[in-house]
Amino acid sequence: MVALETSHPFVFVLMWKLLTYFVDTGQGFEVVERDYEIPISADTFLHGPLVDWGMNDYLEIGQRADGIESRSLLTFDIGQFMLESQWGQEDRYPNINQSTILRTSLSLSCTNIENAGSTDPFERNFQDTLHVGRLLVPWEEDVATSVVRANGGQFWEVENVGTDGTDATASVASASVDITYAACQEGASVSFDITDTLLSWINGSSPNYGLVIWAEDAMLTRKWIKFVSSGSHDVVNHPVLAVTIQDTLVTTPGEYSFQNNIFVNFHKINIRPS
């Protein structure tokens, strides 16, 4: 069970000190890509004010037969990713010139489709637009309900998470979903591009309290979709952030000059964390 808060403030200081890069004055360059997966660190879903669902093996989004909307909360600890991506590749790439995050994809694996109007699962499908917002306040996996977000009487400003800048931002990423029960059982998944969100966590312009996911038309139809959660034994299909970093490498000798780097991303440094 995890209490969420921003971490690794020293990383941001180091990054700001490294806003320089080598300019090509005759040397050759090579472009390579590195892929990382950031595992989930906490997740739950909200369904009503009385029960916390953090121990379940699934996440839920949509509207159940009881007419109550479900929304999912997730967070990812980017600390280890920061260490590995900044310092872990120096031996392989000792001549990194510039690095940029190309893309960051949040992936959720479907585990079930529910429909209040159908008893035959193979007649069920889930059609809606799912939205992702950045959470602006901390929450706790084993406490959070549609009313309470953390121990000590900490409540959501708006019930079921306000996505108007109170508890969370408005949508920062979305995906049109059209999944049948059969496709879900065959391993269908949903992905969101949250590159800008990861960069905001890294450069400190927004706190890393995680994400909230909701269905745009949740209250219009009594359909809901379930995704594999971190509580599932199906570890391979846990929620994950897949990150691709592109490095520009100096491949031939040459003179170097420095100029300001406008990108606040990842750069090779020779300082190892204590």
For residue 130, CA distances in Å to 72, 202, 215, 218 come to: 11, 25, 5, 9
pLDDT of 4 reads: 41
State the Cα–Cα distance between residues 171 and 206, nearest whole angstrom: 15
Place of tokens 């992702």: 132
State the Cα–Cα distance between residues 156 and 144, nearest whole angstrom: 9
CB neighbourhood size of 17 (10 A): 11
Q: Rg for the chain (alpha carbons), in Å? A: 21
CB neighbourhood size of 78 (10 A): 22
**Mean pLDDT in each 10-residue stretch from start to end of the chain (274 residues)?**
38 31 56 91 95 89 96 95 74 75 96 93 96 98 96 95 98 98 97 97 95 96 96 96 90 47 32 33
For CA atoms 76, 78, 79, 80, the dihedral sign is positive
For CA atoms 133, 139, 141, 146, the dihedral sign is negative
Q: What is the pTM of this model?
A: 0.80
pLDDT of 90 reads: 65
pLDDT of 253 reads: 56
pLDDT of 87 reads: 59
Closest by alpha carbon to 142, among 211, 232, 54? 54
